[in-house]
Structure 1
Amino acid sequence: MIRGIGVDIVDLARFTRQVERTPGLIPRLFTEAERGLPVHSLAARFAAKEALIKALGGSAGTTWQEMEIVSDDLGNPGFVVHGALALLLAARNITSVHVTMTHDAGVACAFVVAEGA
């Protein structure tokens, strides 16, 4: 059963300016494994994390570091969740989270579906 859906879009030029202006933004928003990616990939991951928050109806008590986008053997993206976020998903009976991301024409976009019992 679908427990929540979320979508987010990020303007790449604006995101790039924010990252350049605020050097501490990258370590705050992204895990160590995500940080070395190109800015368009970071923007898509930011959109995915925002979309997850929307799918959950909020993220009180969790941090950006508890959401990590990883790729499977075929290159498909997925979330690995840690800490309080993992507990939040369990409390909301969410057993799997699906994510898709894209970037083109100056924007990055992500869509998330949260499924559970």
Structure 2
Amino acid sequence: MIAGIGIDLVEIARIERIATRWGDAFLGRVFTLREIDSCSGRARPATHFAGRFAVKEALLKSLGLGLGMGVRLREIETVNERDGRPRLRLYANALRILEGRGIRRTHLTITHTKDHAVAVVVLEADSPGPRGAELDTDPHE
């Protein structure tokens, strides 16, 4: 049963500007050491930092939370499987919130263009979560 869906779009240049201005202070506040190592070793680090930032925001949206609502961004980590697929690894409050809501699986995708990074997170639970909007089945439209 789908328990939450979140999507986020990040402007890569914005992340690059912030990282240039604040350097390690920004990176260390937002990203885990593993994420910093992974992104810094890429040809276009800002693109990959933007993608991981989008993941963090998309997860918060899938939970109905915003920044500063009990989950620190470093509690949300994107790691890659051996085949390159991204996967969420959660810590502390982020993990407790998902476990408390009965979330058993997470699904994640990230994509980039020259200017933007987008991430989508889908949360899956074994039991029914909040209901979505009913489909409009009016045959007269």
Specify the code of the residue in structure 2 equivalent to 1:93: G
Percent identity between the aligned chains? 38
Post-superposition Cα deviations, 1:50-72, rounded to whole Å, max 9, x if no partner, equal 00000011163221111110111
TM-score, with structure 2 as normaliser: 0.79
**Correspondent of 1:56 among 59, 63, 66:** 63
Tell me whether 54-63 or 104-113 shows the greater mean CA deviation: 54-63
Contact kept in structure 1, 2:4 and 2:123, CA below 8 Å: yes
Number of the residue aligned with 1:67: 76
Distance in 1 of aligned mates of 2:114 and 2:31: 23
Specify the code of the residue in structure 2 equivalent to 1:89: L
Offset of residue 80 of structure 1: 0.5
Offset of residue 19 of structure 1: 1.2
Tell me if 1:32 matches 2:33: yes
Distance in 2 of aligned mates of 1:46 and 1:67: 9
- Can you give the 5+ residue segments of structure 1 that lack an aligned partner in the other structure? none
**Counterparts in 2 of 1:35-46, with a 5 A limit?**
35-36=36-37, 37=39, 38-46=45-53
Larger strand proportion of the pair: 1
TM-score, with structure 1 as normaliser: 0.95
Distance in 2 of aligned mates of 1:79 and 1:96: 10
- Can you give the 5+ residue segments of structure 2 that lack an aligned partner in the other structure? 40-44, 127-141
Contact kept in structure 1, 2:62 and 2:123, CA below 8 Å: yes
**Counterparts in 2 of 1:1-117, with a 5 A limit?**
1-23=1-23, 24-36=25-37, 37=39, 38-58=45-65, 60-117=69-126
Bigger Rg, which one: 2
